[in-house]
Amino acid sequence: MSPEHGVAAATALTNFVFPNDLHVHWSLMIVLYPYITGIVAGAFIVSSLYHVFHIESLKPVSRYALIFALAFVAFATMPLLNHLGHPERAMSMMFTPSASSAMAGFGYIYSAYTVLLILEILLIYRPTLVALKKTSTGYMQKLYGVLTLGSDNVSEKSLALDHKIIAFLAAIGIPMACTLHGYVGFIFGGVKANPMWATPLMPVIFLLSASVSGIAGIILSYILIKTFTRKALDMDCVRTLIKFLWGCFILDFVFEMLELFSHYYMATHHWHQLHALYFGPLYGTFWVAQVGIFSVIPFVALGILSLVKLPDGVVKFFGSIVSLMILIQVLLMRWNVVIGGQLMSKSERGHTVFHPEWFEKEGILVSIIIMILPIVFLFLLSKVFPFWLDDDPAANKQSV
């Protein structure tokens, strides 16, 4: 594997880092940004599997997945804003964008997707919201009044129209969710100066890991919420989710490995840099953690959970553990790509170091808070939108 050929030998790593490369500019915030966006895209895909592809067993989580996506999408830009040196100018990206910038495009895709998600939620929940408006009082009644979009009409005809719009939104939502996260991959993949990022596979890997993290997030939170509220889990739904998680993770993991293998096999002069990175500073977080522990173990475990008929308790317990591991795997992948890519100096001769601090502006504490906020918001949303059909006063009218 050692690069002995041509220029590589002449530029052997002697740990010279360009003076401006010593500082890692994209820190934890930029690790969280694709992580949160990925969870959003993945959760939406779960919902679409029911709403568009009619996977009936996913009905119990189909509405919850949308609310889950909303809870995270609401905070997707928070790490970005915290990262910007001038967050007060952030809207310039929308109002006076530079057409050639990959990043400027994200603002539009993100906004369009958020609008679509909110519309879909409001339409799917409309009969529920109308029923809740009638039974609630005070501020909640006013809130439901706003959320029903001013229409209490829940006649057959009206719901049929809703249904058509929902199907349309869900259908265009799938390519949009894919674009949302594929595009995040492209924001990295389009940086030609970084040999780790600059690969056309980057959008694919980002999209697949997004699906994986979204499905895992739904499985874990579904099991946890139902367990803590002492309500019955729909095990058929959990098993189907696990099968989809396995399928997506097979693709995700295989492409992640193929991407690295392609670099190794092509062995361009960039490979000596990547080799030194993967077997140097990233050895622990990539090979040991991301690949060894949090990919191989879930890979095998998901196969067993999907193929072997196991008791409900076992599926529930290991399903949540594996989902948590997958969520960690994707976070590690984001870390290794975002931080790892920046550890390589463009001098092609060395690596810098990155040690996040607990109490800095973009530090660990702020990261933890940003990851907790969507969960808090999800809890608040649960007070407005009943997640489960069992708690829904308009469940009989709930055709979607």
Residues that bind another protein (CB under 8 A): 7, 9-12, 14, 16, 18-23, 25-26, 80, 83-87, 89-90, 92-93, 96-98, 100-104, 107, 187, 190-194, 342, 345-349
The least distance separating another protein from the CB of residue 192, rounded to whole angstroms, comes to 6
| Contact between 125 and 389 (Cβ < 8 Å) | no
| Contact between 387 and 63 (Cβ < 8 Å) | yes
Distance CA 399, CA 56 (A): 12
The least distance separating another protein from the CB of residue 294, rounded to whole angstroms, comes to 26
Q: What is the DSSP string of 334-361?
A: HHHHHHHHHHB-TTSB-B------SSST
Q: At residue 350, what are phi and psi to the nearest 5 degrees?
A: -175, 175
The least distance separating another protein from the CB of residue 94, rounded to whole angstroms, comes to 10
25 or 157: whose CB is closer to another protein?
A: 25
Distance CA 97, CA 107 (A): 9
Distance CA 156, CA 148 (A): 16
C-alpha angle 20-370-291 in degrees, rounded to nearest 5: 70
Distance CA 115, CA 126 (A): 16
28 or 187: whose CB is closer to another protein?
A: 187
Which residues are within 8 A (CB) of 283 and not within 5 positions of it... i.e. 6 or more apart? Answer: none
Distance CA 270, CA 196 (A): 9
The least distance separating another protein from the CB of residue 10, rounded to whole angstroms, comes to 5
84 or 140: whose CB is closer to another protein?
A: 84
100 or 155: whose CB is closer to another protein?
A: 100
Burial (CB < 10 A; 0-12, 13-18, 19+), residue 243, is middle
Distance CA 85, CA 273 (A): 30
| Contact between 38 and 214 (Cβ < 8 Å) | yes
Cα separations in angstroms, 103 against 87, 188, 331, 332, 390: 15, 10, 21, 23, 42
187 or 248: whose CB is closer to another protein?
A: 187
- By residue count, the chain amounts to 400
The least distance separating another protein from the CB of residue 378, rounded to whole angstroms, comes to 28
81 or 160: whose CB is closer to another protein?
A: 81
The least distance separating another protein from the CB of residue 29, rounded to whole angstroms, comes to 10
C-alpha angle 369-366-110 in degrees, rounded to nearest 5: 75
26 or 255: whose CB is closer to another protein?
A: 26
The least distance separating another protein from the CB of residue 356, rounded to whole angstroms, comes to 16
| Contact between 298 and 216 (Cβ < 8 Å) | no
206 or 294: whose CB is closer to another protein?
A: 206
The least distance separating another protein from the CB of residue 18, rounded to whole angstroms, comes to 4
Q: At residue 16, what are phi and psi to the nearest 5 degrees?
A: -100, 125
162 or 348: whose CB is closer to another protein?
A: 348
The least distance separating another protein from the CB of residue 235, rounded to whole angstroms, comes to 45
Q: At residue 86, what are phi and psi to the nearest 5 degrees?
A: -130, 75
85 or 138: whose CB is closer to another protein?
A: 85
Distance CA 28, CA 38 (A): 16
The least distance separating another protein from the CB of residue 84, rounded to whole angstroms, comes to 5
